[in-house]
Amino acid sequence: MILRFVLVVSLLSVCVMCAQLTVTTFQNNSDDLEDFILTELLGCEIEISNVQFIGNYESIGTFTFVENQEMCENNFDLDRGLIMTTGSVSNAVGPNNSGDNSQEWNEIYEDSFLQNYLQNFGVINDGVSLFDPSIIEFNLQSSISQNLYFELVFGSEEYPEWMSPFYADAFCFFVSEVENDIDPNYDSSPINIMETGNIINAEECDIINKPISVWTVRPYSEVFNLPSMNGCLYQFNDEGQLCDAISYDGYTSNLLFNLALVSGAKYHIKLVIIDGAGPAIDSGIFLKKSISDNFNFADFEWGQATYSDDGISISFTNTSPLNSNDNFFWDFNNDGIIDSNLANPTYIYSEPGTYLVSLEIINDCLGSSETISYEVFVESNNTNIISNSSESFSFYPNPASNLLNVDLSYDNKDYLLDFFDKSGRKLNTFKLKNSRNKIDLTNYENGVYYVRLSNNNQFQTFERIIIVQ
């Protein structure tokens, strides 16, 4: 029978191991599942309550994955996390020697909101029933505003021969706000934050926004002679050729999602994987909290210089997603000394020039560290040429349009011409080896720029260039 319960104490673990994938089921308990959600999926400064599970305990559990190149030509990418299936977690474990692994619970799930949501996106047809749910629900509240990142892999035995435009297994991660209206991004209506249009790491894909399902992330359908949809996210594994440790005939690439939490807001979270139309043939998801080590989120920008008797002041702004327990370490002149621990500091330079500025962000909770560096040009208050040599040179016309001419006094001295925007961010570097050079400006927008001409650290000059296309 289908189990619905507020999870309360007791644990029975069943482990199934094959090569490098291990799964362990949850049973009717609260402490272990709640601890797992907090420590493995959510993290610091978060409280959860009213944890509920709907489904059969064999359909949910934890997984660990150890890389084995003999079993996986392309690594599975996730090392541990939560597994939820429409059947049995054991059916996710390879080798992939059965095309239609299935555990049927034959339980109908009635949810008009979910039914209408899937119908509106074309995942199931009108009148199609939902079967064999695996659902986790809980309330969540964060004491500080922060961003959570999740990595997801969706797999199924329905790939590729059972893909259908009439019904499909699907996964959703619904978020709504309850009790108060603090977060402007949410209200009482659930929003699925894990639609394909919300994937962070799919920049090179032509994405059609849909819920994640067998039909909406798929290869070409030979049965219905229909083209692929979001096919760049799909990976063939019908004979275990990609990863024989995974039993699903196909699965998605590692998909990255974000959940932004506002301090004090109370959210209701609902994770659901469902079988459309009938209980046969398993699908499952692997979900992990990401510490975003492989995704460069650290970044900053800076404003124009201001001048005083104290020196040249530049204000730096951290543009990275803010998380709790973030610690900032700024080095403004590449001397290895931390100059500031503020999120958005201002630094005073004593002299103009070009400086390497670095920001390292360390998050104690996530155990992550990210660093980003930029070469920053600090302009003199004197807008004329700054030079430490009497060598002759000229830049013309100024203002310039499509081309900038750079004339030098000597050939073959390996001059470098660096282009900076008005804030001091380096845009490009050109190598100049002739006495007369032409620089293509067609890709630059109208505005003020700075160029630095240098030669073997013996000569350098700065000039302001105005581009008018």
Question: Phi and psi at residue 105, in whole multiples of 5°?
Answer: -95, -15
Burial category of 260 from C-beta neighbours within 10 Å (exposed 0-12, middle 13-18, buried 19 and up): middle
Non-local CB neighbours of 437 within 8 Å, separated by 6+ positions: 405, 406, 407, 408, 417, 430
Q: What is the pLDDT of residue 435?
A: 83
Q: What percent of the chain has pLDDT over 90?
A: 47
Burial category of 216 from C-beta neighbours within 10 Å (exposed 0-12, middle 13-18, buried 19 and up): buried
* pLDDT tens-place string over residues 255-272: 999 999 999 999 999 999
Q: What is the pLDDT of residue 49?
A: 93
Q: What percent of the chain has pLDDT over 70?
A: 87
Q: What is the mean pLDDT of residues 413-441?
A: 84
Task: Determine the Cα angle at 60 with ends 93 and 75, to 5°.
Answer: 40
* pLDDT tens-place string over residues 171-205: 999 999 998 899 999 999 999 999 999 999 998 89
Average pLDDT of the chain, as a whole number: 85
- Between 79 and 6, residue with greater pLDDT: 79
* pLDDT tens-place string over residues 73-99: 666 778 899 999 999 999 999 888 876
Q: What is the pLDDT of residue 13?
A: 41
Is the preceding peptide bond at 160 cis, omega within 30 degrees of 0?
Answer: yes
Q: What pTM was estimated for this model as a whole?
A: 0.67
Q: What is the pLDDT of residue 102?
A: 82
Under 8 Å between Cβ of 83 and 284: yes
Structural domains in the chain plus CATH codes: 3-290 (no CATH), 300-378 (2.60.40.10), 386-467 (2.60.40.10)
Q: What is the pLDDT of residue 74?
A: 65
- Tokens for 288? 């992990």
**What is the band of 298 on the pLDDT scale with cuts at 50, 70, 90?**
confident
**What is the band of 8 on the pLDDT scale with cuts at 50, 70, 90?**
very low
Under 8 Å between Cβ of 77 and 286: no
